[in-house]
């Protein structure tokens, strides 16, 4: 009888172990780490820190837009090699630019400016509506994709930076925009190296400064 009871206990123990084993879930270590990192990266916080600590403090590093446009007309290859930035090796490149211009037209999606002292060049547009893409993130060349664990986080930084432009840069730009008003701007441009068209140049504004009051132009 003792032997039978002993075997019953053994069987009960084995059954318990099998039940416990069936509830366990084994995963690869990299899968566990990947799941643990979900939510750890804060793109909004990263974008805010980059905007305030690096981007705004490097506005004086932007290339003069008029000078760049002249260079693009005369020697586009050199212009791209010397002044553009990109994450990959494709034709899409980004520029960090600055300039001053007089407001010619207030459009639904952009402000059209004539560049100061560059009457020979086409007008440029400051985007005021559709802010998307990677120009703000990649224009300055100060964010390295190698610093990110995955491309999703990298792309979310673009979204967060574009949101800052939409909520903090565009409202005062639109509010202060009046015909013939002078604007000093710094921004980012996306351009296809194989399809340069200066007549359709659009700058995503990062910093703007009105250089005269609306009533001053009337005097």
- Tens of pLDDT, residues 11-32: 555 555 455 555 444 445 455 4
Averaged pLDDT score across all residues of the chain = 86
Query: Residue 116 above 80 pLDDT?
Result: yes
Q: What is the pLDDT of residue 182?
A: 96
Structure tokens, 124: 């440029």
Q: What is the pLDDT of residue 211?
A: 84
Tens-place pLDDT, residues 128-186: 999 999 999 999 999 999 999 999 999 999 999 999 999 999 999 999 999 999 999 99
Top-confidence range, 17-21, 29-33, 98-102, 214-218: 98-102
* pTM exceeds 0.85: no
């Amino acid at each position: 009888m003792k032997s039978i009871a002993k075997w019953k206990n053994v069987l009960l123990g084995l059954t318990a172990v099998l039940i416990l084993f069936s509830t366990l879930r084994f995963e690869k270590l990299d899968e566990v780490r990947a799941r643990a990192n979900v939510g750890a990266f804060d793109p909004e916080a990263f974008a805010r820190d980059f905007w305030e600590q690096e981007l705004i403090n490097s506005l004086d590093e932007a290339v003069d837009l008029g000078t760049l446009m002249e260079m693009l007309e005369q020697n586009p290859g050199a212009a791209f090699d010397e002044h553009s930035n990109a994450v990959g090796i494709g034709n899409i490149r980004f520029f960090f630019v600055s300039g001053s211009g007089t407001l010619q037209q207030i459009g639904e999606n952009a402000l059209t400016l004539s560049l100061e002292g560059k009457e020979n060049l086409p007008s440029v547009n400051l985007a005021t509506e559709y802010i998307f893409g990677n120009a703000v993130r990649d224009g300055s060349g100060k964010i390295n994709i190698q610093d990110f664990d995955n491309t999703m986080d990298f792309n979310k930084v673009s979204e967060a930076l574009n949101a800052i432009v939409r909520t903090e840069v565009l409202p005062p730009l639109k509010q202060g925009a009046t015909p013939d008003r002078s604007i000093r701007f710094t921004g980012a441009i996306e351009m296809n190296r194989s399809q340069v068209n200066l007549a359709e140049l659009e700058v995503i504004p990062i910093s703007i400064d009105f250089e005269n009051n609306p009533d001053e132009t009337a005097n």
